[in-house]
Amino acid sequence: MDYTHQPALIPCGQDKYMPKSELLLHLKTYNLYYEGQNLQLRHREEEDEFIVEGLLNISWGLRRPIRLQMQDDHERIRPPPSSSSWHSGCNLGAQGTTLKPLTMPTVQISEVDMPVEGLETHSPTDSRGLKPVQEDTPQLMRTRSDVGVRRRGNVRTSSDQRRIRRHRFSINGHFYNHKTSVFTPAYGSVTNVRINSTMTTPQVLKLLLNKFKIENSAEEFALYVVHTSGEKQKLKNSDYPLIARILQGPCEQISKVFLMEKDQVEEVTYDVAQYIKFEMPVLKSFIQKLQEEEDREVEKLMRKYTVLRLMIRQRLEEIAETPETI
């Protein structure tokens, strides 16, 4: 890749720009870190616009469940058939007309085990004690309660299953399920989405939710850059997440991009984050020191303004005692 030429300014947020040469240096470092992996980024120019594109890793940081859509845009997922889908002896058409009974699958019923020696078995006979009477049992159509029956209409081949899931990605192996369509992804688990440097935060959010067919609105979520120090920086709507990731550096052990709820997370500045990991006794000692410093400053200010008040009063008394002059 050619990382040199044309000094220019690249937008990295609202009213924020950076030199193109500086961004190329960050991009070179980023690609060296992910050398030989699919997380490397590519850049190109279209109509004098510098564009970086590639995969962005996003970690799940949700505290509330999300809802998956019931069906895809291109493929309808049919609910499982009801228990009354098979009937004994009747098949009705769409308008209530009787159709020809379908050919039922062959059912093989194993023979009854032979009686144990020493026990007599009696066959039903007629009233005159003649030959055993064979019961004239009519052949009934098997119902779904028979163990040997297999409902062919519900069996999907592997190719059908792949076709149904073709437009739906899984979240850590979780596909849509009627019983688990509302669930919370494992905290910290990672997914990725292919974006470019011209896409803003709302566009990336919508793309991510659409990838997994998530029904929740994109306005419920936000992207945060979370550092190991505890600092949490919310990406604004005018920010470009891919540019922000490049500027933060490639190492995810230092910082990660998280998808979180807007109303569940508060930003943590660097000044606050540097105190988060201290033990409670240490933090209490910090608070005590700050309180003592505050008290000294308050006392100093009180002395200063007390002196000023006395000076003002003294001057007012001098003016009141001075006779009026014409």
Q: What is the mean pLDDT of residues 319-323?
A: 81
- Report pLDDT digits (tens) over 107-165: 444 444 444 444 344 444 444 444 444 444 444 344 443 444 444 455 667 776 666 55
Ranges 277-281, 290-294, 303-307: which has the least confidence:
277-281
Residue 297 inside a domain? The answer is yes
Residue 178 inside a domain? The answer is no
Backbone angles phi, psi at 209, to 5 degrees: -65, -35
Residue 291 inside a domain? The answer is yes
What pLDDT was estimated at residue 256? 95
Residue 303 inside a domain? The answer is yes
- Mean pLDDT, the chain, rounded, equals 76
* Dist. CA 157–CA 120, nearest whole Å: 50
Residue 159 inside a domain? The answer is no
Residue 104 inside a domain? The answer is no
Shared domain for 292 and 265, answered yes or no, is: no
Shared domain for 191 and 245, answered yes or no, is: yes
Shared domain for 242 and 223, answered yes or no, is: yes
The share of the chain scoring above pLDDT 90, in percent, equals 42
pLDDT greater than 80 at residue 169:
no
Burial of residue 175, with CB atoms counted within 10 A of its CB: 0-12 exposed, 13-18 middle, 19 or more buried: middle
> In which domain, by residue range, is 242 found?
9-63+187-274
- Report pLDDT digits (tens) over 36-83: 999 999 999 988 889 999 999 999 999 888 988 876 545 444 444 444
* Dist. CA 209–CA 212, nearest whole Å: 6
Ranges 41-55, 140-154, 257-271, 308-322: which has the least confidence:
140-154
Which of these three, 258, 274, 290, is where a domain ends?
A: 274
Q: How many helices (H) and strands (E) does the chain have?
A: 6, 10
Shared domain for 284 and 298, answered yes or no, is: yes
Q: What is the mean pLDDT of residues 162-188?
A: 73
- Report pLDDT digits (tens) over 85-115: 333 344 444 444 444 444 554 544 444 444 4
Residue 291 pLDDT level (bands cut at 50, 70, 90): very high
Structure tokens at 224: 């945060």
Shared domain for 192 and 264, answered yes or no, is: yes
Query: In this structure, are residues 21 and 39 in contact, taking their beta carbons and an 8 Å threshold?
Result: no
Ranges 16-30, 80-94, 159-173, 258-272: which has the least confidence:
80-94
Shared domain for 261 and 292, answered yes or no, is: no
What pLDDT was estimated at residue 150? 46
What pLDDT was estimated at residue 131? 44
- Report pLDDT digits (tens) over 206-215: 999 999 889 9
What pLDDT was estimated at residue 91? 42
Domain count, the chain: 2
Shared domain for 293 and 225, answered yes or no, is: no
Shared domain for 294 and 266, answered yes or no, is: no
The share of the chain scoring above pLDDT 70, in percent, equals 67
Backbone angles phi, psi at 143, to 5 degrees: -100, 175
Q: Tokens 């470092």 map to which residue?
A: 29
Length of the chain, please? 326
Residue 236 inside a domain? The answer is yes
Residue 114 inside a domain? The answer is no
Single-letter residue type at 180: T
Which of these three, 274, 295, 316, is where a domain ends?
A: 274
Residue 277 pLDDT level (bands cut at 50, 70, 90): confident
The CATH number given to whatever domain includes residue 236 is: 3.10.20.90
Which of these three, 235, 251, 274, is where a domain ends?
A: 274
